[in-house]
Amino acid sequence: MTSKEIITLLPYSKPFLFVDDIESINEDGVRGSFTFDPELDFYKGHFKNNPITPGVILTETMAQIGLVSLGIFLLSAKEEDFNGQVAMTSTNVEFLRPVFPGEKVSVVSEKIYFRFNKLKCKITMQNLAGDKVCYGELAGMFIKNANG
């Protein structure tokens, strides 16, 4: 499965798609990137006259690249199509520095385990300077649709 195919299968669309590229992916992890468009709506109010990317959006970016993209890849390796939902089951993220409008970030995820369609990963986000922005562990369940 190619990176473009994985991005197409993500259950998100703009303005809530936070994956531009998947640079590498295998059964142990994934590396991808996203650039935060300064025109994204949440920047208008977070914070007045000094916008930064909300932590919940950074967490979502980590989840989309590091958890959901990897889960779709792992399911395809088991010859299972992903046609359902992803439910976040746990997050533990530490934030170290802000991400400003227009910044590009890189996300690196390492699989901790994948069993019974539950995936848990250790995920790190860095800015282009190589500074760690945030890191943590995220887990989610891949749930098949009732008709699939």
Give pLDDT tens digits for 30-64: 999 999 999 999 999 889 889 999 999 999 999 99
Range from 25-29, 77-81, 86-90 carrying the lowest mean pLDDT = 77-81
Residue-wise pLDDT for 83-137, tens only, equals: 768 899 999 999 999 999 999 999 999 999 999 999 999 999 999 999 999 999 9
The per-residue pLDDT for 145 is 67
Q: Could you tell me the strand order of the sheet in which 29-35 lies?
A: 21-26, 29-35, 104-115, 118-127, 132-143, 85-95
* Distance between CA atoms of residues 66 and 31, nearest Å: 7
Does pLDDT of 148 surpass 60?
no
The per-residue pLDDT for 17 is 97
- What confidence category does residue 81 fall into, taking pLDDT thresholds of 50, 70 and 90? low
Residues near 129 by Cβ (< 8 Å), separated by ≥ 6?
Answer: none
The per-residue pLDDT for 61 is 98
Which one of the listed residues 46, 97, 104, 144 is annotated catalytic?
46
Q: CA angle, corner 75, sides to 71 and 78, nearest 5?
A: 145
Q: Which pTM does this prediction carry?
A: 0.94
**Known catalytic membership, residue 6:** no
| Domain layout of the chain by residue ranges | 3-143
> To which CATH superfamily is domain 3-143 assigned?
Hotdog Thioesterase (3.10.129.10)
